[in-house]
Amino acid sequence: MIIWIFYVIVCKKNYLHMKTKLSESLSDKIKVLKNEKKAIILAHYYQIPEIQDLADYVGDSLGLAQNALATKADIIVFAGVHFMAETAKILNPSKKVLIPDLNAGCSLADSCPPEKFRNFKNRHSDHIVISYINCSAKIKTMSDVICTSSNAMKVVNSFSHDQKIIFAPDKNLGAYINTMTGRQMILWNGSCEVHDIIKIESVLKLKSENPDAKLIAHPECKAIILELADYVGSTTGLLNYTMKSNANKFIVATETGIIHQMMKENPNKEFIVVPTDETCSCNDCPYMKMNTMEKLYNCLYNEKPELKLSKSVIEKAKKPILRMLKLSE
């Protein structure tokens, strides 16, 4: 029995060693290919650590959009989800935009189908539309201005208090802004399956077990969690907070990917991810995690899958995104 356990441990160790070596060499191959093809890799914080470490830029939705607009590279490889790659294509249409897995969607974007939204908008024709960037390009064409979690407050406050507003598609972010600004924006009933599932019971349990920890949360979480949080912000906002704060322990209510950067920036601090239930402590976005090193290599090598959009969608969707970028300067 002891020999058998020893054998299993040795095999597992060898396997993990092989896996690390394999991803190291893949990482080198991707870097070579990237330089040959004059490509840039943009990655969201929710990507696996290997992809984050390889990327030319890692950031939140706003930072990624700004970088997609500014890049001089011939090819943009977008290690994120579909709506992010769409945004890159809209902002920089002459570039070839590649995405490792075209099926990497977003439950929040999917919760706002364009035809249903068009009818909703028509029923409130005296309202302007502010859309969270986590929506399809078609929804962006129906929007007056886009926002991200890092500039939502600024974008909303750029309108007078009596302006009637539809906020789509995230009801949690919309409700949070309504609370913070005293507005009554009409909210589209959409949510992110990763953040919306985070339970208050889990948060309360972790808070009582770690009274010295700060609770930090992404605004896609439910109001009951945001009310308890010491800090609410975008992924970049959360990361910056952990760097500036004097606290040494953080309860993190968002997707797990950001922990990689938090640990890199704060090697001596402790991060506790809020478990979604008793058996799982992994708030992994299934769409973000569809991207792998192998898919990243293949997409750069084959220059596909390529993200394509019609000229008319690009033209219409660009206006509200540029308006947001102007407001974020």
Q: For residue 174, report the phi and psi dihedrals to the nearest 5 degrees.
A: -60, -45
Q: How near is the Cβ of 119 to ligand 13P at its closest, in Å?
A: 26
Residue 86 contacts which entry, ligand 13P, ligand SF4, none (Cβ below 5-8 A, type-dependent): none
- Type and span of the H or E element at 147: strand 145-147
Could you tell me which of 266, 265, 212, 216 has the C-alpha nearest to residue 237? 216
Q: How near is the Cβ of 307 to ligand 13P at its closest, in Å?
A: 16
Q: 150 or 202: whose CB is closer to ligand 13P?
A: 150
Helix spans in the chain (H)? 2-36, 49-54, 61-70, 82-91, 107-110, 114-123, 137-141, 152-157, 171-181, 193-196, 200-209, 223-228, 235-244, 258-265, 293-302, 311-327
Residue 31's CB: how many other CB atoms inside 10 A?
Answer: 12
Question: Interface residues with ligand 13P (CB under 6 A)?
Answer: 45, 60-61, 134, 148-149, 192, 218, 220, 234-235
Q: How near is the Cβ of 254 to ligand SF4 at its closest, in Å?
A: 8
Q: 34 or 131: whose CB is closer to ligand SF4?
A: 131
Q: How near is the Cβ of 51 to ligand SF4 at its closest, in Å?
A: 15
> Across the strands, what pairs with 131?
146, 168
Residues 85 and 70: beta-carbon distance below 8 Å: no
Q: What is 212-249 written as a DSSP string? A: TPEEEE-TTS-HHHHHH-SEE--HHHHHHHHHH-S-SE
Q: How near is the Cβ of 191 to ligand SF4 at its closest, in Å?
A: 8
Residue 287 contacts which entry, ligand 13P, ligand SF4, none (Cβ below 5-8 A, type-dependent): ligand SF4
Q: How near is the Cβ of 81 to ligand SF4 at its closest, in Å?
A: 5
Q: 69 or 204: whose CB is closer to ligand 13P?
A: 69
Question: Interface residues with ligand SF4 (CB under 6 A)?
Answer: 81, 106-108, 134, 192-194, 255, 285, 287-288
The set of residues, in sequence order, having a beta carbon less than 8 Å from that of 6 and lying 6+ positions away, is none
Residue 149 contacts which entry, ligand 13P, ligand SF4, none (Cβ below 5-8 A, type-dependent): ligand 13P
Q: 73 or 87: whose CB is closer to ligand SF4?
A: 87
Buried/exposed code over 148-160 (b: 16+ C-beta within 10 A; e: otherwise): bbbbbeebbebbe
- Type and span of the H or E element at 271: strand 270-273
Q: 121 or 168: whose CB is closer to ligand 13P?
A: 168
Q: 34 or 236: whose CB is closer to ligand SF4?
A: 236
Q: 93 or 286: whose CB is closer to ligand SF4?
A: 286
Q: How near is the Cβ of 133 to ligand SF4 at its closest, in Å?
A: 10
The set of residues, in sequence order, having a beta carbon less than 8 Å from that of 241 and lying 6+ positions away, is 214, 216, 231, 233
